Structure 1
Amino acid sequence: MGKTAYLLFIKLYPLAARITALFNRKARLWIAGRKNVFANIHSSLQNDTRKKIWVHCSSLGEFEQGLPLMKELKKKYPFYCLVLTFFSPSGYENEKNNSVADRIFYMPMDSKKNAALFYETVKPVLVVFVKYEFWYYYLTEAKQRNIPLLLVSGIFRKSQPFFAWYGGFHRQMLQCFTHLFLQNEESLQLLKSIEIINTSVGGDTRFDRVLEIAETFKPITSIEEFCRNKKVIVAGSTWTDDDEALDHYVNSYKDYCFIIAPHDIGEDRLKECESLYHHSVRYSAIGTQIVEPEINTFIIDNIGTLKYLYKYADICYIGGGFGGDGVHNVLEAAVYNKPVVFGPEYEKYIEAVELLEKEGGFSVENALELEEIFNELIEDKDLYEYCAAAAGNYVRSKTGATAGVMQYIQEKRLLTS
């Protein structure tokens, strides 16, 4: 996609969102969140004289990834105002009241006019983009204004347009960054091949985040009572194809406990899960109705609980690998020293690839393989303990990315204490 195609994209995206909003709640939130967005930003910041740090996250996953850094920034530089933006409603709507940031907004759609107005209004002295999302005008505006611009936990693949013969426009975006903190050596070498050398391999701040979650875990009484003295399998971020791979096993092993957390908690998906899992109840119903003895499955119908539920598992299954967006966050489970199982679509996710290499995870092609590996892990204690330890050790060996970014900020004096 060259510049012409990009300009067409940023013009058509809001139009497509308006059309989609007629029947899609997420699109409606995207549209509503950007109504009067500049007026909201201006009124929120006009009397705030503090210097501003702007952190941008695409969605909820990137927020979790950037959270350790945001916490350290607030701790080290408490007199700065931390402004957080989201592109996606799934990020903004879930975290709009999070206290880690001083101000939280939707990012206005990229354009030359919007970017200039945003910088004039916010006046950031440091800009941080988490993992990805490359918005041309926001990036070039930072460079033109000589504002330090960092990419944190970036990861690149050869198939991306940056590395194609037609990728000159995309390479211009990368040239705007003051420094790019990358997850792996492969990304560094790819960027080096296009003469982007202001880089370093700093790892992934998600490792710091999941370790923090595990270390601050608080028991959930209703889950403890449900799981007591039983084998427990937690399936997180599942899509329909994941549930169809799981349902036979769940319905057959009635003496085990299953916790299913679908990626989408819309009413249609929850009803679909209820139809697939024959002995299930929604988590929100606990306490309002009697949980019958034959119930062996909780369906989680909220956002935010899942990252703690993996603690109760004997085995964790991570969804998305059977035709969703690709396998979701395996680290949230592995940090608790749990073997992790997921579907065949994982190659784009380095943490899933590395977890397989470290023998803390398993990829399955179908429901039959899923059943086989579940049973093998449950029946073979030595295998289970080996894989569980491998998963936990992998996560702990990769922490420290946040400290590396903070060290750079301090050494370069990008902010003043």
Structure 2
Amino acid sequence: MWLHGVSVGEVVSAVPILEELRRLWPGMRVHLTSTIEDALVVAGRTGFAFESMRFLPLDLPWTMDRVVDRIGPDVVLISETDFWPNMLHVLARRRVPTVLVNGRISYKIAGLYRSVRPFSVRMFGALARAFVQTGLDASRLASLGYPGDRAVVMGNTKYEAALRPLAQAPCDRLVERLAASPLSKVVGGSTHPGEEELLLDGLQGRSLLLVLAPRDVRRTDQLVKLAGERRWPATTFSRLEQGLPEPGVVVVDELGVLPRLYGAATAAFVWGTFDGSGGHNFLEAARFGVPVVVGPATRNFHGDVAAFLSERAIVQVAGPGDVSSALARLLDDPADARAVGERGRTILTRNQGAARRTAQEIATLVGASR
């Protein structure tokens, strides 16, 4: 089997499906490709045993032929959203069933491919099945010429990924050290340049631990310096054994640590929700019953945010200037903060099963193609 996931989130969301498939086929070997190094690093820490992990080569007919020859897949899974025309064409020509899993068709992608519809009809038509998150994803696929009887709404496997047991890791000891502090802890998850200042300035003067987990860990030194310029004592996560600034800032400088740090949080803000990135995965924080604040730009999780908002299980702010006040309200009212977080965890546990349903459909499809 060959799984392709463009980045970290897409790879992680596919793991529950792979685990269900391995229960059905204990000897199943899975080869992973991605376009992002971080995704391969995090994949190695999920606890799922991949046969191989490599970068996806350039999307050329002969390079894709070589990948298929090397892997020899009986089925190919594309996680969420990353479509390469030559890859899909080669797989269709060689009659390898290709399946979209946990499919997400954004407004941007739909608009792009709608403008070249004859091309998109052929490309998406190479998918034997499309197991998508929502009815909106299915309707957008249909608008691109994909046959409606081959698109199935399954739900979002990120709900299951968020509840997977975390494999033991060397960083656990440092997470426990941070969690043991009696101070409140605010986690800024997947921060982008320019966003950290909002927390550093907005929470200035509060006696707490501010944990900044940049989307790009190469920005660590820059953020430690930034915190110091704003008179916050600061250190990096990997140096916590040398001392914890209380109060102060901890900058995360290791991949795969953020989901564990949410477990120590009093409140969290998940970034990427003010710019064009569409937001990052807030479900990892909801797992621990942590109240989450997000901005308005949540297209990657629009349906999920709407569901959480309908049950007051998340806090959404209109603009960057509202972040610190929203977090302050949660910090100043622990009972309400706990209630928000627990409602979020309830929604998370209620929305399980997409991975199992998807795996069963894949097993049926592969069995029929043999």
TM-score, length-scaled by structure 1: 0.79
Q: How does 1:18-29 map to 2 (within 5 A)?
A: none
Q: Please say if residues 256 and 296 of structure 1, whose CA atoms lie closer than 8 Å, have aligned partners that are also in contact.
A: yes
Report the Cα distance in structure 2 between the residues aligned to 1:310 and 1:152, rounded to whole angstroms: 27
**Residue 248 of structure 2, aligned match among 277, 284, 296:** 296
After TM superposition, give the deviation of residue 151 of structure 1 in Å. Answer: 0.3
- Relative to structure 2, which stretch is displaced further, 278-287 or 406-415? 406-415
After TM superposition, give the deviation of residue 220 of structure 1 in Å. Answer: 3.8
1:357 alignment partner in structure 2:
310
Secondary structure of 2:259's aligned partner: helix
| Structure of higher RCO (CA pairs closer than 8 Å, 6+ residues apart) | 2
**Code of the aligned partner of 1:110:** D
Gaps of 5+ in 1: 1-52
After TM superposition, give the deviation of residue 158 of structure 1 in Å. Answer: 4.2
Secondary structure of 1:156's aligned partner: coil
CA displacement 1:166-206 (0-9 Å, x = unmatched): 32212221101111000001112223343521011111111
Matched, 1:184 2:134: yes
2:7 alignment partner in structure 1:
59
Report the Cα distance in structure 1 between the residues aligned to 2:328 and 2:44, rounded to whole angstroms: 42
**Residue 96 of structure 2, aligned match among 123, 140, 147:** 147
After TM superposition, give the deviation of residue 145 of structure 1 in Å. Answer: 1.8
**Residue 196 of structure 1, aligned match among 126, 142, 147:** 147
CA displacement 1:60-86 (0-9 Å, x = unmatched): 221111111222333332323211111
Report the Cα distance in structure 1 between the residues aligned to 2:212 and 2:225, rounded to whole angstroms: 12
After TM superposition, give the deviation of residue 218 of structure 1 in Å. Answer: 10
**Code of the aligned partner of 1:286:** L
Report the Cα distance in structure 2 between the residues aligned to 1:82 and 1:415, rounded to whole angstroms: 20
After TM superposition, give the deviation of residue 356 of structure 1 in Å. Answer: 2.7
1:412 alignment partner in structure 2:
365
Report the Cα distance in structure 1 between the residues aligned to 2:146 and 2:339, rounded to whole angstroms: 43
Relative to structure 1, the CA distance from residue 371 to residue 414 in structure 2 (aligned partners, 3 Å threshold; closer, same or farther) is same
**Code of the aligned partner of 2:38:** S
Relative to structure 1, the CA distance from residue 365 to residue 75 in structure 2 (aligned partners, 3 Å threshold; closer, same or farther) is same
**Residue 216 of structure 2, aligned match among 258, 264, 271:** 264
Report the Cα distance in structure 2 between the residues aligned to 1:378 and 1:386, rounded to whole angstroms: 13
Q: Please say if residues 183 and 204 of structure 1, whose CA atoms lie closer than 8 Å, have aligned partners that are also in contact.
A: yes
Secondary structure of 2:367's aligned partner: coil
**Residue 313 of structure 1, aligned match among 261, 265, 285:** 265
Report the Cα distance in structure 2 between the residues aligned to 1:279 and 1:364, rounded to whole angstroms: 28
Secondary structure of 1:412's aligned partner: helix
Secondary structure of 1:298's aligned partner: strand
Relative to structure 1, the CA distance from residue 224 to residue 158 in structure 2 (aligned partners, 3 Å threshold; closer, same or farther) is closer
Report the Cα distance in structure 2 between the residues aligned to 1:231 and 1:375, rounded to whole angstroms: 11
Q: Please say if residues 280 and 295 of structure 1, whose CA atoms lie closer than 8 Å, have aligned partners that are also in contact.
A: no
Q: Please say if residues 339 and 360 of structure 1, whose CA atoms lie closer than 8 Å, have aligned partners that are also in contact.
A: yes
After TM superposition, give the deviation of residue 108 of structure 1 in Å. Answer: 1.3
Matched, 1:372 2:294: no
After TM superposition, give the deviation of residue 317 of structure 1 in Å. Answer: 0.9
**Code of the aligned partner of 2:127:** F
CA displacement 1:225-244 (0-9 Å, x = unmatched): 44433222111111122211
Q: Please say if residues 178 and 244 of structure 2, whose CA atoms lie closer than 8 Å, have aligned partners that are also in contact.
A: no
Secondary structure of 1:110's aligned partner: coil
Q: How does 1:1-400 map to 2 (within 5 A)?
A: 53-95=1-43, 100-159=49-108, 160-161=110-111, 164-193=114-143, 194-197=145-148, 198-213=150-165, 220-227=172-179, 228-253=181-206, 255-267=207-219, 268-275=221-228, 276=230, 278-287=232-241, 289-291=242-244, 294-323=246-275, 325-350=277-302, 351-366=304-319, 368-400=321-353
CA displacement 1:293-312 (0-9 Å, x = unmatched): x5422111111111011111
Report the Cα distance in structure 2 between the residues aligned to 1:137 and 1:238, rounded to whole angstroms: 34
After TM superposition, give the deviation of residue 366 of structure 1 in Å. Answer: 4.1
User: Quick check: which has more Rg, 1 or 2?
Assistant: 1
How many residues are paired up? 362
TM-score, length-scaled by structure 2: 0.88
Q: Please say if residues 277 and 297 of structure 1, whose CA atoms lie closer than 8 Å, have aligned partners that are also in contact.
A: no
Relative to structure 1, the CA distance from residue 129 to residue 300 in structure 2 (aligned partners, 3 Å threshold; closer, same or farther) is same
Relative to structure 1, the CA distance from residue 282 to residue 165 in structure 2 (aligned partners, 3 Å threshold; closer, same or farther) is closer
1:23 alignment partner in structure 2:
none
After TM superposition, give the deviation of residue 416 of structure 1 in Å. Answer: 10
- Relative to structure 2, which stretch is displaced further, 211-220 or 166-175? 211-220
After TM superposition, give the deviation of residue 263 of structure 1 in Å. Answer: 1.2
Secondary structure of 2:75's aligned partner: strand
Relative to structure 1, the CA distance from residue 182 to residue 232 in structure 2 (aligned partners, 3 Å threshold; closer, same or farther) is same
Report the Cα distance in structure 2 between the residues aligned to 1:277 and 1:68, rounded to whole angstroms: 43
Report the Cα distance in structure 2 between the residues aligned to 1:234 and 1:114, rounded to whole angstroms: 42
